[in-house]
């Protein structure tokens, strides 16, 4: 299969957020550490007017696709997106089968975001090898798209040799990929239905990510339109600056230790340093990075900032709450804020 797949024009418009309202371009990130609680949150979010849910898949949490299958049966309109499923852990045919199951339950509401994850997790936790993640991603998506969109696979590559005469059916489920570095944005522009950033400063997305995405899309010979850049943003519904800074540091500390993130932060102008004094080896996240990533203030201030970011050229937003005082209350307020847009 040619990885520069030609998309139907209607699907292109849908993927890229064209003709969508502001509310439909802003998704809520839901924590998946408790499957039952996640399903309850998703159903409550739909009732509040949220039209897009995103969930990650960590090595230590319940399976996201299983949670979405349950949530799909209890909802009717909200879209469900993974951001992301680590590709080294599931054969593309196995993931295609899971995606088809969700699409059967909730036709047209599933968006499948995939990515290579990070070497400390893939090698350090699972004991697998991760050497050329972008090349692996390209080939993985070729197999996945062939299975889902064409219903058959005849792929003989470096990483996969897959032959499937006929899947039970086809489903043109949008396939998005994770993007941190410039090369990943170029790959997304060439082969994906959307670029999923995570904790990327907005100026980095506008100056590096978006131009790379557009360049690769424009140079494609397959007639593809530009896929949307789905930007991850943090929100604190508070005006307590010192506390927001403290909570932001707590959230970012883990990511700053991962090489891909540390490089991206540095490329974005926020270098991560290590304090080796006293043998502690503490990773230092600059205050400026926290302040850059966290949108804070009143609900009206946050809503205005959402519109500014989308007007600046970002395709969609996926929003994570930064709990300040009461996580449940603040998540609920964020749901209703998005639902009113």
Q: Is the preceding peptide bond at 84 cis, omega within 30 degrees of 0?
A: yes
pLDDT, tens digit, 9 for 90 and up, residues 67-86: 999 999 999 999 999 999 99
pLDDT of residue 7: 44
Q: Are 16 and 226 in contact (CB under 8 A)?
A: yes
Q: Between 3.30.2010.10, 2.102.10.10, 3.90.1200.10, 3.20.20.30, what CATH number should domain 31-42+51-178 receive?
A: 3.20.20.30
pLDDT, tens digit, for every residue of 237-283? 999 999 999 999 999 999 999 999 999 999 999 999 887 655 556 88
pLDDT at position 277 is 57
315 and 25 in contact (C-beta within 8 Å)? Answer: yes
Please give the average per-residue pLDDT across 307-333, as a whole number: 97
Torsion on CA atoms 176, 179, 182, 186, rounded to nearest 10: -10
* pTM for this model (two decimals): 0.92
pLDDT at 15 over 70: no
Is pLDDT at 289 greater than 60 in this prediction?
Answer: yes
Sign (positive/negative) of CA torsion 146, 151, 157, 159? Answer: positive
Higher per-residue confidence, 17 vs 212: 212
* Three-state secondary structure call for residue 326: coil
Domain boundaries, the chain: 31-42+51-178
Interval 187-192 mean pLDDT: 96
Residue 220: per-residue pLDDT: 74
Q: What is the pLDDT of residue 224?
A: 72
Tell me how far apart the alpha carbons of residues 111 and 176 are, in angstroms, rounded to a whole number. 7
Average model confidence (pLDDT) across the chain = 92
Residue from 156, 67, 163, 173 nearest 53 by CA = 67
Instruction: Give the angle subtended at the CA of 179 by the CAs of 207 and 26, to the nearest 5°.
Output: 80
């Amino acid at each position: 299969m040619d990885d520069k797949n030609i998309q139907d024009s209607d699907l292109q418009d849908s993927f890229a957020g064209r003709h969508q309202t502001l509310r439909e371009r802003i998704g809520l990130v839901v924590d998946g550490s408790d499957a039952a609680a996640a399903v309850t949150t998703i159903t409550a979010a739909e009732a509040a007017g949220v039209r897009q849910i995103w969930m990650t898949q960590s090595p230590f949490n319940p399976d996201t696709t299983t949670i979405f299958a349950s949530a799909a049966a209890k909802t009717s309109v909200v879209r469900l997106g993974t951001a992301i499923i680590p590709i080294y852990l599931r054969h593309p045919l196995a993931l295609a089968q899971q995606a088809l199951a969700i699409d059967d339950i909730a036709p047209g509401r599933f968006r499948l975001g995939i990515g290579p994850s990070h070497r400390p997790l893939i090698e350090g936790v699972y004991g697998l090898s991760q050497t050329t993640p972008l090349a692996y991603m390209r080939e993985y998506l070729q197999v996945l798209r062939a299975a889902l969109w064409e219903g058959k696979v005849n792929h003989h590559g470096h990483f996969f040799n897959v032959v499937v005469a006929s899947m039970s059916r086809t489903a043109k489920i949008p396939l998005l990929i994770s993007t941190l570095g410039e090369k990943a944005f170029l790959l997304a522009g060439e082969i994906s239905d959307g670029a999923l950033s995570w904790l990327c400063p907005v100026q980095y997305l506008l100056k590096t990510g978006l131009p790379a995405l557009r360049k690769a899309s424009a140079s494609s010979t397959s007639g593809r339109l530009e896929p949307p850049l789905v930007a991850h943003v943090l929100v604190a519904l508070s005006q307590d600056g010192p506390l927001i800074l403290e909570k932001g540091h707590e959230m970012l500390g883990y990511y700053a230790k991962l090489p891909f993130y540390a490089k991206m932060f540095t490329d974005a102008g926020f270098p991560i340093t290590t304090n080796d004094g006293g043998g502690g080896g503490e990773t230092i996240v600059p205050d400026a990075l926290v302040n850059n990533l966290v949108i804070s203030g009143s609900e009206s201030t946050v809503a205005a900032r959402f519109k500014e970011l989308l007007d600046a050229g970002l395709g969609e937003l996926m929003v994570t709450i930064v709990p300040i005082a009461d996580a449940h209350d603040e998540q609920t307020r964020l749901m209703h804020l998005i639902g009113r847009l």
